[in-house]
Amino acid sequence: MVTNDIRIAILGGEGMLGTDLARTCIQHGFDVSVFDLPEFDITDSQQLKQAVDTARIVINCAAYTNVDGAESEADLAYKVNAEAVGHLGAIAKELDKWILHISTDFVFDGRLDRPYVETDPPNPISTYGRTKLAGEQLLIKSGCRYCIIRVEWTYGSAGNNFVAKIIQRAKTNKTLKVVDDQVGSPTATIEIAKM
């Protein structure tokens, strides 16, 4: 039941994080509209403007998230993670909307021996990281009202993720082979949604 007059649009609202965000916002009485593939394409400026126009706050969870795939589909990753986010910012500026943009720790190179803070200079080493950083920069350049949240190693019930893969392999007694040169903090999408 809607008990709050703030309307929220969630782009990528049927993905792993978007699902938990939508559920949490609805539980708190917000009027929520969810936009996702295949009906909604963030790279379609007309659809994007219509989605932004439905709400006061837009949460952008839509992204090209296949880190390895971005290396071979760099143009598509850039179109989704950067260009579309720039268009989102321009539309939000024009319509006076707030944007909460979900980004990633991949904007950093992972070489520090301590946790990153928001003032650390970005230095992405993958196509995925470069496209996400470009999206952040275009959003900032748009002049809209925004907040960027960089999340890492997300896992949740509504998507394919590292934690789910490890649990599944452990259940099937398959040998676990994982890289040992990465450090991160697995973060439950439900915990992100509660912020």
pTM of the model: 0.92
Catalytic residues: 128
Chain segment 153-184, per-residue pLDDT in tens: 899 988 777 777 778 878 887 677 777 767 77
Q: Is 169 helix (H, G, I), strand (E, B) or coil?
A: helix
* Sequence spans of domains, the chain: 7-194
Mean pLDDT of 86-99: 98
Please report the sign of the dihedral spanned by the C-alpha atoms of residue 14, residue 17, residue 20, residue 26.
Answer: negative
Q: Quickly count: other Cβ atoms within 10 Å of residue 108's Cβ.
A: 19
In this prediction, residue 171 carries a pLDDT of 85
7-194 carries CATH number 3.40.50.720? yes
